[in-house]
Structure 1
Amino acid sequence: NKIMAGMSVKATKWWFDEVKWELIFLKTRQEIQGIDLDVREAYNHSVSGLTTLALKRKNFFLDGLDFDFDIGYFIGKYGLNDKASNRYDWDGNKLPAVSPYGGEQNNFPSDGRNRSNELTSKLNLGYTIDKHHGINLNVYFDRNSLHPNDSLMDKALGFQSNFPSKMKTLTTGLSYDLTLFDGRFQNAFTLKNFIFSSHSRSIDVYSVRSPEPVKVFKSYFGFSDAFRYKFTDDLMLKGSFNSEVRIPTSEELIGNGYSILASPALKPERTSGVNLGMLYRHLKQDGGLVEIELNGFYNQLKDMIRFTPDMIPTMARYRNFGSVRTRGVELDVKGDVCPVLYLYANGTYQDLRDVRKLTPGTTVENPTYMKRIPNVPYLLANFGAEFHKENLFGGKEQNTRFLFDASYVHTYFYDFEVSRYQDKKIPSALTMDAAIEHSFKNDQWVLTFKVKNLMDRRVVSEFNRPLPGRYIGVKVRYLLK
């Protein structure tokens, strides 16, 4: 069950070109999908609120200086409730709970009442010096804190497994834009600084009863350069090379309070790579658009972050994996066949390999050296169509859209392929979605009927867990004007 309510107020006649304030409330209660057993009572619950303020202005005190600022604050309470006194198998037989204190799914019960707070802000200043030169400053700040509270789980385990955690990140980017040859050549060079800190406590197999405080403060520099050159109005070459940093997310670094443990010593991912592609973009005389894009990419990733099981049964945490090499190609084709029909198709082949020659911390050869990284699809494709026409059924100020989307994912492994007889595979999946959307009074009223997984195909996640089958939904939207 989900309840969501939101409102926003926007002003465009004040000193700022746009001032927008938004307030969102969300409440959910989600039952747990049983896989090995018939889970009947366990559920996740959350109540959260979000407020944001956005300010925009062109020529901010100086001609050519554009100002864009966003700030938001999120507060939430959530947790897992799993206190059933009995379990049941799929034949309906009654089984004892996972512990003397109850519980259905993990090795321990849960009565989570966690609290989280997050403050985010983004500042973007773009200054156009002249038609050839421009500079841009982008600053992003995030402060996240988690206060887990699950006395029932701690009582069953015999020790505390989750601890209050804090995380701060600051990402600063300064770009220089260059335009030459009447706009045919454009280049953007960006220098970035990544700062993050975290403070938590961590347990391991030797110190479950005496958790160690962990404080982390890291600073990294990175850069990227992207260019494009237009041979004609329709055809362009584009490329980029970079040495970037990906800071761990709050869930990766400080966990979620019940199933994911904190990893305060987690290192950020570092990547160096190059991308090169061609883009054909043609504007038809009837206003339609045709695009064909082909890209190739190559990356070296260090300290890849992976989701792994932990010493506490049924709990997990994120860990740094090592070095991964990625190379691949992608093709994207889309366009308006005629004024009422739009088609698109894309495909991706990506080859991710473990390039650690030795098992970490030893001189032993790595048995998975140059093996494909598991849990990541390497061949996937999508296809879709949209038929749209105004006043299809008569009347005025109406618009109708028929949507169809198909997605294909080829077979891949959910563990390293160390033997040709290994059968730990995620099967190929072809799923289709369809929708009908009809609007009245120039989109003031919009009615949508959607079916996901139209053929009710069996689909599993990258960890070989079943995903929901056919989904049918109806949405009504009314826009106050």
Structure 2
Amino acid sequence: MRRFYILLPFFLLLHISTTINVCAQGTYNLKGTIRDNSGPIFGASVQVVEINKNTITDSEGRFEITNVAKGTYTLLLQHMGYKQLKTTVTASGQTKEAVFILEEDHTQLSEVQVNGRTETQQAKLQPIKVEVINTKAIQEQPSTLVELMNRSAGIRIRQTGGLGSNAGLMMNGFQDRAIKNFKDGIPMDYLGAGYNISLVPVNMLERVEVYKGVLPTGLGADALGGAVNMVTKKSLYRYAEASYEFASFNTHRASVNALYSDTTRHFFIGTDAFVNRSDNDYKVDVIVTDQETAARSPATVRLFHNKFANYYAEAYGGLTNLKWVDELRLGITWFHINRQNQYGSTMSQPFGASVSRQYSVIPTLRYRKQFGKLGIDQFLTTSNIHTAQVDTLRGTYDWYGHFIPSPSRRGEISMRGSLSDITFSYFTSRTHLGYQIGERHLAEINVVSTNIGRKGSDPLGLTLPETGQDILSLPAKYYKIIGAAGIQSVFLNDKLINNLIAKFFHYNTSTINVDIYGTALGQHRTTSENSFGIAEALKFALTANTFFRVSAEAATRLPEQDEMFGDGNFHRSNFLLKPEKSTNVNLGFRTERSGAYALEVNSFYRITRDLILKVPIDFLYTQNQNVENVKGLGFETDLSVTLNRWLRANGNFTYQDFRIFDTGNRLKEKARLRNTPYFFANLALNSTWNNIGGRGKLNLYYYYTFVREYYLDYVPQSLEPDGFLGLWGKAKFDAPNIIPNQGLHAAGFTYNPAGERFSIGFQAKNILNAHVYDNFRIQNAGRSLHLKLNYTLK
């Protein structure tokens, strides 16, 4: 059965290839080039009026609208500073690529209204709720993707330290792996830790789509709380871009993107690469133990063994726009991570010698083709990700960096020590099929299968009690398949859009059982489960810019392999994890007036069984454990306003009240979900000034973020603040597990001295040097200064 699931995408591909001649008839593509008297126009809006399809032109002024039925249509062509052009075209087998000339309109430069929508604008209008983060708009700022997402409504990224530390996404009450990560619609598990939201430069991305609740059929993952889809930059024919950032704590971040296409647009090659490096030697407040008296006292120290370095490079090439393929892309990815371990899951104990690393070389293949009404998108990858941890110090360090020898120890993290070397093998296949049923219905099928194995060695690690055999030498296997089938329908002259999605989940694992403290029990454990889910998402438009959204879902989330196997570092295995199941309901409203304001309000309700939550254990390690019953509701609002020609403002806040129930424990009953913020808010001001020094442009900005105090562990409801919804006042106890109120200020500017090609960006973060506590109450950096240079050649 497993072999059948793995080979299913290949059978589908073979079957579709035999039906090309049948399916390639009946629909056509509209192609053209838009120019003015001096050359092609980039970014012009193209709309097919009768069927409301939109696109924009590329850097050569070209556009293509696919899957158009035979007939005569009206094209509406527009661009800022040009007169609107309406023209008639015919879609047929003899359709040729036309050239359209736009005339400049000098009288209406400040009032041209563009009706066509970009992909970013279209994503915001789908029936499935998605928060679209436009990275192109801020790529010149020295801001990280983590910071951008934290400024969005309903989203918090929690990190366990500085640059390169583990980052977990929290959204609408769900955390970490309950929210899936994708790169261009493909689950990112195969990339390990080499490509994630804390490392990827914003320069690499076109936008980030954050889905809340129900996922589109095309993503088709086992997510409860939603998903993050990082959309890489689209082809601009030929371009090269480089950026370099220097910041406090000896932080360096650099990126290079380049793409080349031949003049026929049938062949392309490109590369994406980035480097992240930091000493992360910022100051923190800790409890220091005196070695002679054992007295414990607070102190402020500088981290001394916290360096991080990450290198990533991807080379790709392929073919496009041929009869048998729209895109065939072959890629090869390499990454390497070196990390010094300063502390474990909490800051209770310092380390001064332990290091870990991860590296891999990963090939990928992607094939996409539209055969008339039928489209296929097939992705394949296989990889071996190598992880290692070295912990062989015979002694320990204190927070001042002093070494304390202890010959009886074999490691500073544990008495046993570690020389682990683990290989995780991945094979991932993702197949997506879409079929257009008339003009109003689109049917989709998406199948993702993942086969993962773990094998390694650790001469200092755990062994079987009977034979003394290294447990890492025994293979651990994990397999899962997620199938989704959906149909999107449009009714009432495009006012009503409905998505109905059904899902199937299967997984099985096989390994040696280990208890909560990492002790090998010597029991071979096999787990297998099948489950089904269903989701419905509906959007009703009152006007072109005002609509309601509602969605509901009965979802299942399977345990991930790293949650069950551990990561070979500070995350413990737990082979007793059960899948988490949830019923989710979302309701939202959005309205906007172009160039004036945009308002969005959303609410959500969740009830979850066996929620998988990452918790600290033994002060050094983390482990995923099931929380039997969790329910709650929340709401969020986001408002953007254009105050005048040069000043824009944005503000949002999120409140969520998630509590455990039916615990059988009077003190824990109805307690807030541990280690989970329940109120946070953001404010942003942006000002743009043109014609600085002739051709220059200056952008000034200010950001403020507030997070209400929350609790590292469960706290009785009777001890929470008395203020309205707990939003003010103090908790009725004083303990280290309170994560206090946090207010962070940041400000900066970007300057383009002559056009868009070169920019200088500066930002001061945490201006008031406030204490910043994040996931598991780990302290993050204080005030820091960042300078970024960006150069683009198109």
User: The TM-score by the shorter chain falls in which range?
Assistant: 0.7 to 0.9
Deviation at 1:228, TM superposition (A): 0.9
2:715 is matched with 417
1:21 to 330, 336, 352: 330
Deviation at 1:460, TM superposition (A): 1.6
Aligned: 1:136 with 2:444 = yes
Instruction: Give the counterpart letter for 1:278 in structure 2.
Output: F
Instruction: Give the counterpart letter for 1:114 in structure 2.
Output: I
Cα gap change, 1:17 to 1:456, in 2 (>3 Å): farther
1:193 to 491, 504, 526: 504
2:423 is matched with 115
Q: Which moved more, 1:317-326 or 1:130-139?
A: 130-139
1:182 to 493, 509, 515: 493
Within a 5 Å distance, the mapping from 1:387-466 to structure 2 comes to: 387-388=687-688, 392-395=692-695, 401-418=699-716, 419=719, 420-423=732-735, 424-434=737-747, 436-437=749-750, 448-466=761-779
Cα gap change, 1:178 to 1:13, in 2 (>3 Å): closer
Q: d(CA) in 1 for partners of 2:398 and 2:440?
A: 70
Instruction: Give the counterpart letter for 2:338 in structure 1.
Output: R
Q: d(CA) in 1 for partners of 2:699 and 2:635?
A: 32
Deviation at 1:38, TM superposition (A): 4.6
Does the 8 A contact of 2:447 with 2:482 survive in 1? yes
2:649 to 343, 348, 351: 343
2:379 is matched with 70
1:221 is matched with 532
Does the 8 A contact of 2:328 with 2:368 survive in 1? yes
Q: Which moved more, 1:70-79 or 1:398-407?
A: 398-407
Q: Which moved more, 1:14-23 or 1:367-376?
A: 14-23
Aligned: 1:381 with 2:681 = yes
2:354 is matched with 42
Per-residue CA distance 1:1-47 (angstroms, 9 max, x = gap): 22222323253233322233333222221212244455322222122
1:469 is matched with 782
Q: d(CA) in 2 for partners of 1:453 and 1:174?
A: 46
1:361 is matched with none
Instruction: Give the counterpart letter for 2:315 in structure 1.
Output: M
Instruction: Give the counterpart letter for 2:612 in structure 1.
Output: I
Q: d(CA) in 1 for partners of 2:319 and 2:641?
A: 36
Does the 8 A contact of 2:601 with 2:637 survive in 1? yes
2:573 is matched with 262
1:252 to 563, 568, 576: 563
1:273 is matched with 584
Does the 8 A contact of 1:432 with 1:455 survive in 2? yes
Within a 5 Å distance, the mapping from 1:358-377 to structure 2 comes to: 358=664, 365-377=665-677
Q: d(CA) in 2 for partners of 1:339 and 1:140?
A: 47
Q: d(CA) in 1 for partners of 2:574 and 2:765?
A: 36
1:146 to 454, 470, 483: 454
Q: What is the TM-score normalised by the length of structure 1?
A: 0.86
Does the 8 A contact of 1:137 with 1:172 survive in 2? yes
Task: Work out which structure has the larger RCO, using CA pairs closer than 8 Å and 6 or more positions apart in sequence.
Answer: 2
Cα gap change, 1:110 to 1:473, in 2 (>3 Å): farther
Aligned: 1:352 with 2:650 = no
Does the 8 A contact of 2:614 with 2:624 survive in 1? yes
Cα gap change, 1:16 to 1:402, in 2 (>3 Å): farther
Per-residue CA distance 1:275-332 (angstroms, 9 max, x = gap): 1111113323xxxx7321111111100001122355x784442121101002011111
Long gaps (5+) in structure 1: 359-364
CA RMSD of aligned residues (A): 3.1
Cα gap change, 1:351 to 1:295, in 2 (>3 Å): same
Instruction: Give the counterpart letter for 1:305 in structure 2.
Output: I
Cα gap change, 1:110 to 1:339, in 2 (>3 Å): farther
Aligned: 1:52 with 2:364 = yes
Q: d(CA) in 2 for partners of 1:477 and 1:243?
A: 45
Instruction: Give the counterpart letter for 2:429 in structure 1.
Output: S
1:105 is matched with 413
Alignment partner of 1:467: what SS? coil
The answer to which structure has the higher helix fraction is 2
Q: d(CA) in 2 for partners of 1:308 and 1:326?
A: 20
Alignment partner of 1:112: what SS? strand
Cα gap change, 1:433 to 1:206, in 2 (>3 Å): closer
Does the 8 A contact of 2:700 with 2:750 survive in 1? yes
Q: Which moved more, 1:455-464 or 1:240-249?
A: 455-464
Alignment partner of 2:775: what SS? coil
Cα gap change, 1:333 to 1:316, in 2 (>3 Å): same
Cα gap change, 1:339 to 1:100, in 2 (>3 Å): farther
Q: d(CA) in 2 for partners of 1:226 and 1:415?
A: 35
1:235 is matched with 546
Deviation at 1:347, TM superposition (A): 0.9
1:212 is matched with 523
Cα gap change, 1:377 to 1:309, in 2 (>3 Å): closer
Aligned: 1:320 with 2:618 = no
Per-residue CA distance 1:101-127 (angstroms, 9 max, x = gap): 432234442222221222223222222
Q: Which moved more, 1:421-430 or 1:463-472?
A: 463-472
Deviation at 1:134, TM superposition (A): 2.1
Does the 8 A contact of 1:166 with 1:254 survive in 2? no
Does the 8 A contact of 1:307 with 1:319 survive in 2? yes
Q: d(CA) in 1 for partners of 2:379 and 2:756?
A: 28
Does the 8 A contact of 1:51 with 1:72 survive in 2? yes
Does the 8 A contact of 1:145 with 1:167 survive in 2? yes
Deviation at 1:233, TM superposition (A): 1.7
Does the 8 A contact of 2:554 with 2:581 survive in 1? yes
Alignment partner of 2:562: what SS? helix
Q: d(CA) in 2 for partners of 1:390 and 1:37?
A: 52
Alignment partner of 2:362: what SS? strand
Alignment partner of 2:461: what SS? helix
Deviation at 1:429, TM superposition (A): 1.3
1:302 is matched with 609
Q: d(CA) in 2 for partners of 1:207 and 1:404?
A: 47
1:12 to 320, 327, 338: 320
Per-residue CA distance 1:85-113 (angstroms, 9 max, x = gap): 3323235554234x734322344422222
Aligned: 1:125 with 2:436 = no
Please identify the structure whose Cα radius of gyration is greater.
Answer: 2
Per-residue CA distance 1:346-400 (angstroms, 9 max, x = gap): 2110001111242xxxxxx5531111111000001122344456664544xx766
| Identical counterparts, % of pairs | 22
Aligned: 1:293 with 2:600 = yes
Cα gap change, 1:371 to 1:209, in 2 (>3 Å): closer
Q: d(CA) in 1 for partners of 2:427 and 2:755?
A: 37
Q: d(CA) in 2 for partners of 1:298 and 1:31?
A: 41
1:362 is matched with none
Instruction: Give the counterpart letter for 2:604 in structure 1.
Output: F
Q: What is the TM-score normalised by the length of structure 2?
A: 0.54
Per-residue CA distance 1:184-239 (angstroms, 9 max, x = gap): 01111101111111121112389945421111111110001010111122211110
Aligned: 1:170 with 2:481 = yes
Cα gap change, 1:177 to 1:38, in 2 (>3 Å): closer
Q: d(CA) in 2 for partners of 1:260 and 1:72?
A: 26
Cα gap change, 1:302 to 1:205, in 2 (>3 Å): closer
Q: d(CA) in 2 for partners of 1:169 and 1:245?
A: 13
Does the 8 A contact of 1:106 with 1:314 survive in 2? no
Does the 8 A contact of 1:202 with 1:262 survive in 2? no
Alignment partner of 1:375: what SS? coil
